[in-house]
Chains A and B, each alone.
Chain A
Amino acid sequence: MLPSILAFFTPESGGSPNANQIDTLYKITLVIALLIFFAVEGGLAYALIKFRKRKGAVAAQIHGNTRLEIGWTAAAAVILVALAILTFSKLSSIQNPPNSGANGASLSQLGEQNNLLYASTNRRLPPDGKALDINVIGRQYIWQFVYPGASEPDGLGAPYSYEEMVVPTNTTVSLDLVSEDVVHSWWIPELGGKFQVVPGYHNYTWFKISKPGIYRGQCAFLCGRGHARMIATVKAVPPAQFETWLARQKEAISEANAEAAKARKKLESQSGPEQVENP
């Protein structure tokens, strides 16, 4: 019975170690909370039934009991200290990403990015310093994902995708979250917690997926009328497939850019009544 209650009453997890660790922390807290809940509600119900008004019953004129009151204050404090210790013990496994697996994608050392506008939380890297670095850009009402592989030194020409992020399995993926307009929040429930995407700031999170598949989520902070439709999916594929996809994506983007450049040139060269102003 208890496991099924726990499963029903638990956040999503199973995609990434940080989500699983949060899940464990949550479940231990839930057991403690249920014990307190039933003890207090039970005590309340007992008092209401046992001490309802009856003929001849006289209410005890008690004003308090200092020892008892100090006792339950201390008990409450002890429970909370225990919860704090529990949280601290889980913290590093939730916050710090592990190394990528041996069968993960091959990665180069992450360059220290230093384009922060403000002091911000530090990006956490795996012990070996290697992770797949994806920039997540939130804007009304679509997510854009920019992958490594810029063809120009200023970062331009990198492959990107919208709405669906494709990642290799068994690889630690480090996300750099930025916004172009309003506050958004990045959340894929099975891949760990959500992080606000605030204009002018960088926020970071990570995940490492072992099971190929599609993980769904959506923007979790009100960003305007289309908020409910600002969905995000993460598609985990084996590393080889990922590399093929990334190369293909880059190619497709440069082809489309070339097409667009051609079309633009044509528009610019037109004259007479067909000319388009401000092409």
Chain B
Amino acid sequence: MATYAAPIPQVHAHHVEHEASGWTSWLTTTDHKKIGIMYMVLTFMFFCLGGVEALMIRLQLGAPNNTLVTPDTYNQLFTMHGTTMVFLFVVPMMAGLGNYFLPLMIGARDMAYPRLNALSFWLLLAGGLVFYASIFWSPPEAGWTSYPPLSSALFSPSGGQDAWIYLIHLTGISSLVGAINFYATIANMRARGMSWGRLPLFVWAMLTYSVLLIFALPVIAAAVTMLLTDRHFGTHWFDQAEGGSPLLWQNLFWFFGHPEVYIMVLPGFGIVSEILPVFARKPIFGYKAIAASTVAIAFLGFLTWAHHMFTTPIPEAILVFVMLSSFLIAIPTGVKMLNWIATLWRGTIEFKTPLLFCVGFLALFLIGGISGVFLAIFPVDWQLNETYFVVAHIHFVLVGGAVFPIFAAIYYWFPKITGRMLGEGLGKLSFWLMFWGVLITFLIQHVIGMDGMPRRVYEYDNVGNLALYNQISTVGSFILAAGVIATIVNVWRSLKVGAIAGPDPWKANTLEWFTASPPPVNNFDVVPLVRSGEPMKDIRREIERRSANAAGTATVPAGTTQVGV
């Protein structure tokens, strides 16, 4: 009698590689988590370098007619500071966070193109090294916006300007490759059941970030290539004497430069949209409105670049159009702000450090948003443009909108990355120092600007209260730096002595908390079916229900559970 034998699945391991360990495993890795960690560590180091440059700038301005640094060193410092913070810290830090958490949040086992992912990181490192190598020769000194003719070979003959160009190229390719990778990952590798309406808001933000980068980066790549050929190969794109135009650079630069602002802050918005509901223990208020306004901001971001050029010789029709399109952006941004506050409303708010940094974001970014409306009104901008008012505005937007969310993300996700909690005491100290540091440093800068002090000046005369105001700002910058140091100490200590986190220390809503901390190489043994926008909440409920049914049997450890499959 023939019996039916069920086929036994067999696995043939033809070539089993040992899991790489030691430092070579970091050099050769294509694991999104390791790449993510390298991104975060590297960009944080650049953040510290940029911070030191900022402190030197503030020290120079701490007294009127100070002679601490020479004018050329001063110009190099603010050029390095701006370039570092934008191209080597905020944008790639967001890529690092996205690298680590985006696949985990959508239930994927890696990014779509793991090797391209590694390429992105190593290009970023190369860009950073090329740029910082210039400090041993002559660093660039034409500002992070590098307007020609000042950045041309005639007025900036040093190789530092070329190092700046190569930095833009290398980090640009790095970001472009990364953006395509994010897009492909989000489009194709979401867990079963994770429809667009259930996508975590951080993933929505990274999707928008990627699309913005894909549209904006080719323009800046073209612009810096034109600058390079102007400098070395005899072209005259920006040379008015030969029929070129310096204004062409301004248009090209800001066509990229304005979306770049949203490239920097939209992921921050995403981080805040993830963290607020967890600590208010309440769903995000108006998921669709937040996702839609993210996309709306990104679209409008491409129509407003000329508001950086309100004082240039351009026709009035453009001034009016750009003022109105800039106003329009305030609407989706305001909607988000109110949605976040409504998320806190009627919640039960737990004041853990990640939440504090999110609240700091709300409080500070609002100031930057409101000062932005002043700058959008072009006759008012004629007074405020290129003064310390603008310096204050960009720092409220970027420190509030990007740095605070990044710190919130560090405190929120550190347990997932390392398996250990960061200390709450040092965390809160860090928050309060940074929060007051930002207010003291930058609020007074509005007044400094309106009293007539332009930005990018290495010295000023003591007219009116300028000396006092600048001293206040300098003191604030050191308080801010102390706050950053508190977090560095916190990370250093907690790596060894932090409390063990477990898979889901915050009782959060998204899938990265479904796996162990730190996650295994394959992220998930089983990827759960997603039934709502808050899959972990569903899973916790299901576990509670089953444990109640099983009447006191052991709880199912997360990461191995079959719940929801």
Give A residues with C-beta under 8 Å from B.
8-12, 19, 21-22, 25-26, 29-30, 33, 36-37, 40-41, 43-44, 47-48, 51-54, 57-65, 68-69, 72-73, 76-77, 80, 83-84, 87, 90-91, 94-95, 117-121, 140, 181-183, 185, 187, 189, 192-196, 198-203, 216-229
> Quick one: given A69-B289, A217-B452, A221-B386, are A51 and B331 in contact (CB under 8 Å)?
no
Partner of A44, one of B334, B359, B384: B359
Partner of A193, one of B282, B331, B382, B447: B382
Stretch of B101-109, B336-344, B420-428, B477-485 that contacts chain A: B336-344
The answer to whether A189 touches B383, judged by C-beta atoms less than 8 angstroms apart, is yes
Partner of A76, one of B141, B331, B447, B459: B331
Alpha-carbon distance A222/B367, docked complex (angstroms): 26
> Quick one: given A22-B382, A227-B456, are A58 and B359 in contact (CB under 8 Å)?
no
- Say whether B526 faces chain A, with CB atoms less than 8 Å apart: no
Contact mask for chain B residues 349-369; partner A; CB cutoff 8 A; 1 contact, 0 none: 111000000010011001100
A73 — nearest CB in chain B belongs to which residue? Answer: B335
- Say whether B41 faces chain A, with CB atoms less than 8 Å apart: no
B348 CB contacts on chain A under 8 angstroms: 51-54, 57-59
The answer to whether B247 touches A201, judged by C-beta atoms less than 8 angstroms apart, is yes
Stretch of B162-170, B265-273, B372-380, B513-521 that contacts chain A: B372-380
- Say whether B387 faces chain A, with CB atoms less than 8 Å apart: yes
The answer to whether B282 touches A198, judged by C-beta atoms less than 8 angstroms apart, is no
The answer to whether A183 touches B459, judged by C-beta atoms less than 8 angstroms apart, is no
Interface size on B, residues (CB 8 A): 85
B324 CB contacts on chain A under 8 angstroms: 84
A200 — nearest CB in chain B belongs to which residue? Answer: B240
A183 — nearest CB in chain B belongs to which residue? Answer: B147
Partner of A33, one of B311, B374, B456: B374
The answer to whether B323 touches A87, judged by C-beta atoms less than 8 angstroms apart, is yes
Q: 14 A–B contact pairs at CB < 8 A?
A: A37-B366, A48-B349, A48-B359, A52-B348, A69-B338, A83-B373, A87-B377, A90-B379, A181-B149, A196-B309, A198-B246, A199-B246, A225-B71, A228-B460
In angstroms, how far is the closest chain A Cβ from the Cβ of B49?
Answer: 22
Alpha-carbon distance A72/B345, docked complex (angstroms): 16
A226 — nearest CB in chain B belongs to which residue? Answer: B71
A62 CB contacts on chain B under 8 angstroms: 282-283, 285, 346
B379 CB contacts on chain A under 8 angstroms: 21-22, 25, 87, 90-91, 94-95, 193
In angstroms, how far is the closest chain A Cβ from the Cβ of B345?
Answer: 5
A117 CB contacts on chain B under 8 angstroms: 240
A64 — nearest CB in chain B belongs to which residue? Answer: B286
Contact mask for chain B residues 235-258; partner A; CB cutoff 8 A; 1 contact, 0 none: 000001100011100000000000
The answer to whether B155 touches A181, judged by C-beta atoms less than 8 angstroms apart, is yes
> Quick one: given A193-B379, A195-B382, are A37 and B367 in contact (CB under 8 Å)?
yes
> Quick one: given A59-B281, A201-B247, are A44 and B331 in contact (CB under 8 Å)?
no
The answer to whether A194 touches B344, judged by C-beta atoms less than 8 angstroms apart, is no
The answer to whether A182 touches B155, judged by C-beta atoms less than 8 angstroms apart, is yes
Alpha-carbon distance A229/B459, docked complex (angstroms): 8
> Quick one: given A194-B382, A196-B313, are A83 and B450 in contact (CB under 8 Å)?
no
**Closest CB pairs A-B (n = 3):** A193-B382, A200-B240, A228-B457
B346 CB contacts on chain A under 8 angstroms: 51, 59-60, 62
In angstroms, how far is the closest chain A Cβ from the Cβ of B57?
Answer: 13
B450 — nearest CB in chain A belongs to which residue? Answer: A11
The answer to whether A60 touches B347, judged by C-beta atoms less than 8 angstroms apart, is yes
The answer to whether A76 touches B386, judged by C-beta atoms less than 8 angstroms apart, is no
A216 CB contacts on chain B under 8 angstroms: 452, 463
In angstroms, how far is the closest chain B Cβ from the Cβ of A33?
Answer: 5
Which of B241, B247, B324, B335 counts the most chain A CB atoms within 10 A? B247
Alpha-carbon distance A121/B314, docked complex (angstroms): 6
B328 CB contacts on chain A under 8 angstroms: 80
In angstroms, how far is the closest chain B Cβ from the Cβ of A42?
Answer: 10
> Quick one: given A73-B331, A201-B313, are A183 and B150 in contact (CB under 8 Å)?
yes
Alpha-carbon distance A61/B345, docked complex (angstroms): 11
- Residues of chain B from 425 to 465 with CB closer than 8 A to chain A in the complex: 446-447, 450-452, 454-460, 463
In angstroms, how far is the closest chain B Cβ from the Cβ of A213?
Answer: 15
B338 CB contacts on chain A under 8 angstroms: 40, 69, 72
A118 — nearest CB in chain B belongs to which residue? Answer: B245
The answer to whether B331 touches A26, judged by C-beta atoms less than 8 angstroms apart, is no
Partner of B383, one of A22, A200, A227: A22
